[in-house]
């Protein structure tokens, strides 16, 4: 059963080799120079700006949080975002997203300097807020592909779909190195292995930003959440019941070896923005940590782009908002994600400068960094179009984009068990029974950060193929495909495919103390078991779950992670059109008391080691 096991040490060596090969063939992005090469232009503009205009550039408000649309010009806002639950007021369509972008962008023309907005969204697995976009597997699945070229291609396509709505910035990739599966954001990370996170994080950045930031098909990437987001201790979240936004209690050597590791690669790949983490390091919020933001990131690692605070993160630093602003800006925060309280931010930061608490040199440094990026993006060019490139809309959610997502799905699947060669299935079987509440459920297949922030079960988006539909499309005309969500009525079928797993969740809400398969899912398998036929289990989850007896009951088991809209990729592997190639990017624990368990731990006796994955 463990023939495909690759020793941790061998695998890490392989990761390193992949890394070297990928970066030797890829030169540093052929942008029209380093970010600081735009300083002459940035400095000239800076010299003409008032304090108010500078502070405005440092603010990112939320489209739905704007008190008045004219605040864009009144406060000289530098940026706007739409977070996971913020749809355009007219509705969630490609056209309305585009119109919203254009109508807000237009407001900058009413300011003296007419500096265009950078507009950001969380396009973390495709342009996932917009109905009809292709939804790619979440990063955990991409980690199992071990395929940086593919991850780069996904970034390239995501950039084109985002640009189709005019938007030029995504808060991605997440280069967290999750160490504890109870964390609800585990799936946002590529791996528990820092090297794999560095390799794939850099590949994603190269795809999103392209060879040149100035290209109308590139968008800004944002490596997040700096630093240690994946290393928080269970029980250190604000409410003490989870780990999201909690505290990382490790020494500096460990912080650097595990959590900082992806950042030099991200910077080398050209990441123009980085988002400091909500979490703390030994009790100090990262957003307030001058050593981490300025000394390490900007001075030691030479990061020339700008830092964008996480959503309302500054408020967590001190109960007095004004004090919090002073601490964060002085620590090195360049732009503030202030969805609703941007007016106060504006007033307080101005006072802080006038009182001498925040030096003018810090404001200039922050604004220079923001302007560098705007120059590098071509936003400051004469004739920069404030309109979206509507020609790109033809390919939005297109078949060509879906083909790449389908490839990503099949490469991300990890075959954990295949007793008696249950897989691949025959397309000519007389009858296949499909069961489980996730078999025909696009929402469960896509997970969190899909149309809404937390995601939702059911037909969450337009277009997409569930596993049930994919199986129906793949089998021969003579094959009968039956379905029951509870696993009953499987008697007489040749084989059952049972699709189970987690319901969608995202940050905070996904923290869980118990990662066992739900009772409801176990019952489905028990029901199918009564039919006495071979069982193939397909598991949707944002992390390894405790399999318990499910592993014994299943004849074959595939970890499918959160594959997104292209369920056909699962049928490709189930029916042997493609052999499974995915390898675990996380160690798979036997029981809850083994968590956290990670590569390099001693003793290291997980159920399935890091790098495990069978094939046919």
- Interface contacts to ligand BGC, rule CB under 6 A: 83-84, 122, 171, 224, 310-311, 507
- To the query of whether residue 507 is one of the catalytic residues in this protein, the response is yes
Distance separating alpha carbons of residues 153 and 135, to the nearest angstrom: 14
**Largest Cα–Cα separation, the chain:** 80
In which element (H, E) is residue 205 found?
Answer: helix 194-209
Distance separating alpha carbons of residues 109 and 260, to the nearest angstrom: 40
Tokens of 54: 């500078």
Q: Which candidate in 87, 161, 304, 507 is catalytic? A: 507
Closer Cβ to ligand BGC, 82 or 461, answer by number: 82
Distances (CA, A) of 346 to 58, 62, 326, 353, 611: 9, 15, 12, 11, 49
Look at phi and psi of residue 610 and say left if phi exceeds 0, alpha if psi is from -120 to 50, else beta. beta
Bridge-based pairing state of the strands 414-418 and 556-561: antiparallel
Closer Cβ to ligand BGC, 84 or 544, answer by number: 84
| DSSP 8-state assignment for residue 220 | B
Bridge-based pairing state of the strands 273-276 and 414-418: unpaired
Neighbours of 485 (CB within 10 A): 16
User: What phi, psi does 80 have (nearest 5°)?
Assistant: -135, 150
In which element (H, E) is residue 307 found?
Answer: strand 306-307
Q: At what angle do helices 342-354 and 360-376 cross, to 10 degrees?
A: 130
Q: Which residue's structure tokens are 């390799």?
A: 199
Closer Cβ to ligand BGC, 437 or 543, answer by number: 543
Q: Which candidate in 310, 334, 411, 521 is catalytic? A: 310
Closer Cβ to ligand BGC, 275 or 442, answer by number: 275
Closer Cβ to ligand BGC, 122 or 304, answer by number: 122
Q: Name the residue among 606, 470, 528 with its Cα closest to residue 181.
A: 606
The DSSP secondary structure of 485-526, one letter per residue, reads TTS-S-TT-SEEEEEEEPPP--TTTT--S--BPPHHHHHHHH
What's the min distance (Å) between Cβ of 408 and ligand BGC?
Answer: 21
What's the min distance (Å) between Cβ of 224 and ligand BGC?
Answer: 6
- To the query of whether residue 511 is one of the catalytic residues in this protein, the response is no
By the 10 Å C-beta count (0-12 exposed, 13-18 middle, 19+ buried), 203 is classed as: buried
What's the min distance (Å) between Cβ of 122 and ligand BGC?
Answer: 5
Q: Torsion angle of alpha carbons 448, 453, 459, 462, nearest 10°?
A: -110
Closer Cβ to ligand BGC, 411 or 507, answer by number: 507
Distance separating alpha carbons of residues 465 and 443, to the nearest angstrom: 11
Which residues are within 8 A (CB) of 275 and not within 5 positions of it... i.e. 6 or more apart?
171, 222, 223, 224, 225, 226, 307, 308, 309, 310
Closer Cβ to ligand BGC, 181 or 507, answer by number: 507
User: What phi, psi does 298 have (nearest 5°)?
Assistant: -85, -45
What's the min distance (Å) between Cβ of 228 and ligand BGC?
Answer: 14
Nearest-5° angle of CA 180, CA 196, CA 438?
A: 60
What's the min distance (Å) between Cβ of 456 and ligand BGC?
Answer: 17
Closer Cβ to ligand BGC, 78 or 569, answer by number: 78
What's the min distance (Å) between Cβ of 295 and ligand BGC?
Answer: 24
Assess whether the previous peptide bond of 611 is cis (omega < 30° from 0).
no
Closer Cβ to ligand BGC, 222 or 386, answer by number: 222
Let me know: does 119 contact 175? Beta carbons within 8 Å: no
Q: Which residue's structure tokens are 């036997």?
A: 590
Closer Cβ to ligand BGC, 78 or 84, answer by number: 84
What's the min distance (Å) between Cβ of 424 and ligand BGC?
Answer: 38
Active site residues: 310, 507
């Amino acid at each position: 059963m463990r023939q495909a096991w690759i020793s941790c040490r061998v695998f890490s060596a392989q990761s390193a080799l992949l890394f070297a090969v990928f970066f030797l063939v890829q030169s540093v992005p052929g942008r029209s120079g380093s970010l600081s090469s735009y300083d002459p232009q940035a400095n000239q503009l800076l010299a003409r700006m008032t304090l108010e205009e500078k502070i405005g550039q440092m603010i990112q408000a939320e489209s739905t949080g704007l008190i008045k649309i004219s605040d864009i010009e009144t406060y000289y806002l530098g940026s706007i975002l739409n977070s996971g639950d913020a749809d355009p007021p007219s509705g969630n369509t490609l056209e309305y997203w585009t119109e919203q972008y254009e109508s807000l962008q237009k407001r900058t023309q009413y300011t003296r300097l007419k500096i265009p907005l950078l507009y950001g969204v969380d396009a973390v697995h495709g342009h996932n807020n917009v109905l009809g976009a292709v939804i790619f597997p979440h990063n955990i699945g991409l980690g199992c592909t071990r395929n940086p070229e593919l991850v780069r291609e996904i970034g390239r396509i995501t950039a084109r779909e985002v640009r189709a709505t005019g938007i030029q910035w995504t808060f991605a990739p997440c280069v967290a190195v999750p160490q504890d599966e109870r964390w609800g954001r585990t799936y946002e990370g590529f791996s528990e292995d820092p090297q794999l996170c560095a390799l794939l994080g850099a590949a994603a950045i190269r795809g999103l930003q392209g060879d040149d930031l100035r290209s109308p098909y590139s968008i800004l990437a944002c490596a997040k959440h700096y630093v240690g987001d994946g290393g928080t201790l269970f029980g250190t979240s604000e409410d003490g019941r989870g780990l999201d936004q909690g505290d990382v209690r490790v020494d500096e050597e460990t912080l650097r070896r595990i959590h900082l590791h992806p950042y030099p690669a991200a910077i080398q790949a050209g990441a123009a923005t980085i988002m400091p983490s909500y979490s703390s390091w030994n009790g100090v919020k990262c957003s307030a940590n001058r050593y981490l933001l300025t000394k390490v990131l900007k001075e030691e690692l030479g990061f020339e782009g700008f830092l964008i605070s996480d959503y309302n993160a500054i408020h967590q630093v001190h109960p007095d908002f004004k004090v919090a602003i002073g601490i964060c800006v002085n620590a090195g925060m360049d732009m503030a994600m202030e969805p609703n309280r941007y007016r106060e931010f504006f007033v307080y930061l101005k006072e802080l400068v006038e009182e001498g608490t925040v030096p003018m040199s810090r404001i200039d440094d922050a604004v220079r960094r923001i302007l560098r990026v705007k120059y590098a993006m071509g936003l400051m060019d004469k004739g920069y179009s404030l309109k979206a490139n509507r020609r790109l809309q033809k390919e939005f959610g297109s078949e060509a984009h879906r083909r790449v997502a389908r490839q990503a799905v099949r490469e991300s699947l990890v075959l954990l068990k295949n007793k008696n060669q249950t897989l691949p299935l025959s397309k000519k079987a007389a009858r296949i029974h499909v069961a489980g509440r996730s078999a025909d459920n696009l929402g469960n297949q896509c997970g969190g950060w899909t149309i809404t922030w937390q995601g939702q079960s059911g037909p969450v988006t337009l277009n997409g193929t569930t596993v049930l539909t994919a199986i129906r499309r793949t089998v021969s005309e003579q094959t009968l495909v039956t379905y029951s969500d509870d696993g009953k009525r499987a008697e007489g079928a040749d084989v059952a495919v049972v699709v189970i797993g987690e319901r969608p969740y995202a940050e905070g809400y996904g923290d869980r103390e118990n990662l066992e398969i739900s009772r409801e899912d176990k019952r489905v398998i028990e029901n199918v078991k009564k039919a006495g036929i071979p069982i193939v289990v397909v598991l949707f989850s944002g992390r390894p779950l405790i399999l318990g007896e499910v592993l014994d009951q299943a004849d074959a088991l595939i970890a499918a992670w959160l594959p997104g809209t292209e369920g056909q990729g699962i049928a490709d592997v189930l029916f042997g059109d493609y052999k499974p190639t995915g390898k675990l990017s996380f160690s798979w624990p036997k029981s809850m008391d083994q968590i956290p368990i990670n590569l390099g731990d001693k003793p290291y006796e997980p159920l399935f080691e890091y790098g495990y994955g069978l094939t046919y």
